[in-house]
């Protein structure tokens, strides 16, 4: 059975870039890796509704924290069976954003912490009600919000079709979200976490070793 490994962090933190490097390092060690990124824009109707809402095209829907969280969760629910099959066929299923993104952004939007009502509600929805596979490991790519924002702005300027959405341009939300992520990792919410310093180039070789070792690390390493 493969390992479900999740990369989490702020918008522009460098999750996709870390995912690319980690995939190469895992494959270099002989592991088979398959990747998935949420929301699955262009692949799932709920994800496409999320994109429309985040770009102001669905009226007041984006104002509803719980409504948005349900759309993100439904996209994942539709992918649950595929993830289970992928886990049978691959050593590592590497996912860019998963349930913790919903927890961190929703709680931050409501000015709550990781132990607040929203995170409990979300855990009940996605894990207990929707039965999503629980990750084996969650990697928090820690980047100061200002650096993540600068990277997201740079990407907006250099890549077409990468206009920042309403969450990405909200600096206060990103700062609160960074704090909730820290709490989720420190409390080992849902599964073990490793905090990766995203301000420097990550040692993906060492990280690949940890991912494949299969032991549950301490909440912070």
Binding site for ligand ATP (CB under 6 A): 9, 11-17, 151-152, 154-155, 201
Do 104 and 52 form a contact (C-beta atoms < 8 A)? no
Element (H, E) at 36: strand 33-37
Which position among 23, 101, 112, 138 is part of the footprint of ligand LXEULUCI (CB under 6 A)? 101
Which position among 105, 118, 181, 189 is part of the footprint of ligand LXEULUCI (CB under 6 A)? 105
Do 4 and 95 form a contact (C-beta atoms < 8 A)? yes
Choose the one of ligand LXEULUCI, ligand ATP, none that binds residue 38, judging by a C-beta under 5 to 8 angstroms depending on kind: ligand LXEULUCI
Q: Is 77 in the site for ligand LXEULUCI (CB under 6 A)?
A: no
Q: Is 44 in the site for ligand LXEULUCI (CB under 6 A)?
A: no
Do 157 and 12 form a contact (C-beta atoms < 8 A)? no
CA distance 40 to 46: 8
Within positions 125 to 164, which residues make up the interface with ligand LXEULUCI, using CB under 6 A? none
Q: Which tokens belong to 150?
A: 């600068």
Q: Which tokens belong to 14?
A: 């460098």
Q: What residues line the site for ligand LXEULUCI (CB under 6 A)?
A: 11, 38-39, 72, 97, 101-102, 105, 167-168
């Amino acid at each position: 059975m493969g390992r479900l490994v999740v990369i989490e962090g702020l918008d522009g933190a460098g999750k996709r870039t870390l995912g690319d490097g980690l995939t190469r390092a895992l494959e270099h060690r002989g592991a088979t890796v398959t990747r998935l990124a949420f929301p699955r824009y262009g692949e799932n109707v709920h994800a496409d509704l999320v994109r429309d809402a985040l770009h102001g095209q669905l009226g007041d829907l984006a104002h509803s924290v719980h409504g948005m969280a349900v759309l993100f969760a439904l996209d994942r629910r539709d992918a649950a069976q595929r993830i289970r099959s992928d886990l049978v066929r691959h050593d590592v299923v590497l996912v860019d954003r998963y349930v913790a993104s919903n927890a961190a952004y929703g709680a931050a939007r409501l000015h709550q912490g990781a132990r607040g009502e929203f995170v409990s509600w979300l855990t009940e929805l996605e894990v207990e009600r929707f039965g999503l596979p629980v990750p084996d490991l969650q990697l928090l790519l820690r980047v100061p919000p200002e650096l993540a924002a600068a990277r997201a702005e740079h990407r907006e300027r250099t890549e077409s079709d990468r206009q920042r959405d309403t969450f990405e341009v909200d600096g206060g939300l990103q700062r609160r979200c960074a704090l909730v992520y820290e709490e989720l990792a420190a409390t080992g919410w849902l599964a073990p976490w490793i905090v990766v310093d995203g301000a420097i180039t990550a040692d993906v070789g060492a990280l690949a070793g940890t991912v494949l070792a299969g032991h549950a690390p301490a909440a912070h390493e």
